[in-house]
Every structure is written in structure tokens, then in C-alpha cells.
Amino acid sequence: MNKGYLFILPVLFFACSGEKKEKAEDQQIEDIINTTEIEAPPISEEVISDIIQQVPSPLEISVLLKQSGTMYNKNMLNTPEQVSLYNNSYKQAINLGIYGADMGYTNIYEQNQDALHYLNAIKTLANNLRIGQFFQFETIKKLATNSKNLDSLLLITTKNFNDINNFLQEQKRSNLSILLLTGGWLEALHITCQVLANDMENTELKEKVGEQKIILQNIMLLLSYYEASDPNIAKLSEELNKLQELYNEVEIVHTYEESTFEEVNGRLVIKNNSKSEIQITPEQIQEITALTKSIRNNIIN
């Protein structure tokens, strides 16, 4: 199945009254942006489901990385200690997706203590977004500390996302579910690129990075629904558009071959024999890696 800063310096406390008034007005604007219901055409569950099916699960990416022989590297992840610094719904939603990808990575490598830290960060952000009721935290905690339960963990987290998406659409906050998806995808791409930078001969990882051209197109389509009504998403789309420009240079060549029938477990199934070849150069990978890291750092910092 295919399928997460604001530093207030003490000196600001002693600012003059005029600056305080300006700060207060800025905060009011920020609060309005954070709480306003987003008026946008509702995206059907079928459309989002189709796109989710195409987005590689962060767990799936992590399995691929471990199978490649790559060692666990905590430094690639977003530290859970920063969770309290995400102080509006945009930052909370997109970093919730990032933390979800990071927890999947720690789980695959059986780093149980790290996985629990990320689970706590996820719980904090989910509660702040008023969607904590859709997370079975105790169940996820048990599954997250046992890498043998990956299928169950993936099933539960996928169901959670579907429930969250339906709830947010009803509340006219569906922009947040798109941010969850985008954050998880971006973090998985970031981690993959960082690993590939040290193993440029890994053909499977190269193809995985190249395949994200199609995924990014779908994510940009979803984000486009909210650009006019959500300034944060408009800014994010602008950043991701630069990444899409790099991906426009990546070639995906499709070769059609007629499907055949074969027997699987006593049942006749259709086998798709068509193939796709990813044509991506080391220079393109380096550019994608650098820009992905920059976009991601702007989100988590």
C-alpha cells in the first residue's frame, strides 16, 4: 500500500509602546490566518485517495533505505524538541507530516526510544490542531516499538489520515490535510536524497527520487486549490514550484508492452508488462537534493 520558529528575544519585551501596538496588530492578523476557515472547492475523497495511493509511504521509503544497507542517521531528521516552536496551524500541520515520516524511519531501524519521542511530538501537534481524537496513540505506541508490526502500523495511520481528511473537510479546514500529506512526502524525499548523496551508485534510490516528479505534480495540483485563500500555502507552492522546475528536466520514458495473464494463488490475474525508465543525471540529483533541503529547512526552522 502506498501510502513532520518563532524565537521571542527578551529584548522585545521592553519595546516601546508604538512597537507593541504594531506587534499586537501583527499578532491579530496571524491569529486570523491561523483560525480562518478556508473557502475552497472541496476535494473529493476519491481524488485525495487516488493521490495518496501514488505517494510512496514514508515507511516504504524507510524500508528501502534499510534494505540498501544504509545505517541509521538521526541527524537527518527533524528533532522532536522543536515541537513547541510550531505555533500556528500551518506549521503544526506540515510538521505533523514531517514528524510522521521521521517516526516511520526510526521505527524501521528499531530505534524504539526515538520513535516514542516522535510519537509524543505527533500527539502534541495533533491535539493542537484538534485532531488528536483520530489517533489511537496507545495502539500506535505498541506498534511503533515493534518493527514486525509495520503492516498494522501502516494500516492504522492510513485510516487515521482518511478520518482526519473527512473531518477537516467538514470543518472547511481541508487545507490542513493537504499539508499533512505534503510534509510527509517532503521529509521522505529529503531523507532519500541525503542517503543517495553518499551512495550515488544506488540505482533503486535514483529511480525513487526521479519518480517523485509525478508525485510532485499531484501535490502541486492539490495545493493550487488553496493558493488564493491561504497565504502560507501560496508561499509553499512558490517554493515547490522551483523544485518542479528542476523535475521538468527529469525524463520518464514509458514503454508499452501488452498485458498478460498469470495464475497467482490459484487465481487468474492480469500482469502489467509496461515499463517506465527514469532518466536523471547526478547533477540533477544534486540540485534536487539541495533545493529539497532548503525548502524543508524553511519549514522546520
What band does 22 get if pLDDT is binned at 50, 70 and 90? very low
- The CA distance from 3 to 166, in Å, is 17
Is 215 part of any domain? yes
What band does 19 get if pLDDT is binned at 50, 70 and 90? very low
In tens, the pLDDT along 149-160 reads 556 655 566 666
What band does 36 get if pLDDT is binned at 50, 70 and 90? very low
Backbone angles phi, psi at 129, to 5 degrees: -85, 0
Predicted confidence at residue 15, as pLDDT, reads 31
Predicted confidence at residue 65, as pLDDT, reads 82
- The CA distance from 210 to 193, in Å, is 10
Is 255 part of any domain? no
Does residue 54 surpass a pLDDT of 90?
Answer: no
**Tally of structural domains, the chain:** 1
- The CA distance from 59 to 150, in Å, is 8
Q: What is the mean pLDDT of the chain?
A: 78
Which residues, including other chains, have CB under 8 Å from residue 109's CB and lie 6 or more apart? Answer: 62, 66, 72
Is 263 part of any domain? no
Is 25 part of any domain? no
Which residues, including other chains, have CB under 8 Å from residue 232's CB and lie 6 or more apart? Answer: 33, 90
Predicted confidence at residue 34, as pLDDT, reads 45
Percent of the chain with pLDDT strictly greater than 70: 71
Is 6 part of any domain? no
Is 32 part of any domain? no
**The domain containing residue 49 runs over which residues?**
41-250+282-300
Instruction: Tell me the three state secondary structure of residue 41.
Output: coil
Is 273 part of any domain? no
Predicted confidence at residue 172, as pLDDT, reads 80
Predicted confidence at residue 48, as pLDDT, reads 63
In this prediction the pTM is 0.77
- 250 or 225, which is more confident: 250
- The CA distance from 170 to 182, in Å, is 20
The one-letter amino acid code at 33 reads I
Does residue 74 surpass a pLDDT of 60?
Answer: yes
Predicted confidence at residue 276, as pLDDT, reads 80
The whole-number average pLDDT for the span 87-99 is 94
Is 151 part of any domain? yes
The one-letter amino acid code at 27 reads Q
Which residues, including other chains, have CB under 8 Å from residue 19's CB and lie 6 or more apart? Answer: none
Instruction: Tell me the three state secondary structure of residue 37.
Output: coil
How distant, in Å, are the alpha carbons of 1, 18, 170 from that of 93? 23, 33, 17
Residues of 39-67 as b/e, b for ≥16 C-beta within 10 angstroms? Answer: ebeebeeeebeebbeebbbbbbbbbbbbe
In tens, the pLDDT along 172-220 reads 887 888 899 899 999 999 999 999 998 898 999 999 999 999 999 999 9
